[in-house]
Amino acid sequence: MEPVDTASQENIFSRRIRAGKRTYFFDVKATKSAKDFYVIITESRRISEDKYEKHKLFLYKEDFKKFIDALAETVVYVEHELLDKLEKPALVETPVFHPTVEV
C-alpha cells in the first residue's frame, strides 16, 4: 500500500463519538484517484488547554471483514469472560434450610 496524505483527500463520511475524556472519529476518505476509499479511526484526547494527543488507524476495504470479525470476537470475549466475572458477586455457599413438614 502506498502512503496516504490524509489532508488532501476528500472526506466522504464522518462520525464523531464522545466518550468521556476521549473523542473517536470515524472518517471515510477517497484515495487520490477517487476510485477507492479507506477508513481512518482516530482517538483524540486533550492533554493540555490547547494540545491534543491523537492516534490514527488506517483501515483499507480489503481488511474490513477481518477487522470487524476480530473486533466483534474481542468485544464478546471481554463482555462474557472479563466483565461478567467482575460484575457478578462471588458465590458464597450458604447452608440450605429445608423445613420438615409433619403430617
Classify residue 29 as left (phi > 0), alpha (psi -120 to 50) or beta: beta
| Residue 22 near residue 41, CB atoms below 8 Å | no
Instruction: Report pLDDT digits (tens) over 51-65.
Output: 999 999 999 999 999
Instruction: Report pLDDT digits (tens) over 13-52.
Output: 999 999 998 999 999 999 888 889 999 999 999 998 889 9
Indicate the fold that domain 6-87 takes in CATH.
Answer: Nuclear Transport Factor 2; Chain: A, (3.10.450)
| Residue 37 near residue 59, CB atoms below 8 Å | no
- pLDDT category at 87 given cuts 50, 70, 90 is low
User: What is d(CA 41, CA 46) in angstroms, rounded to the nearest whole number?
Assistant: 17
- pLDDT category at 84 given cuts 50, 70, 90 is confident
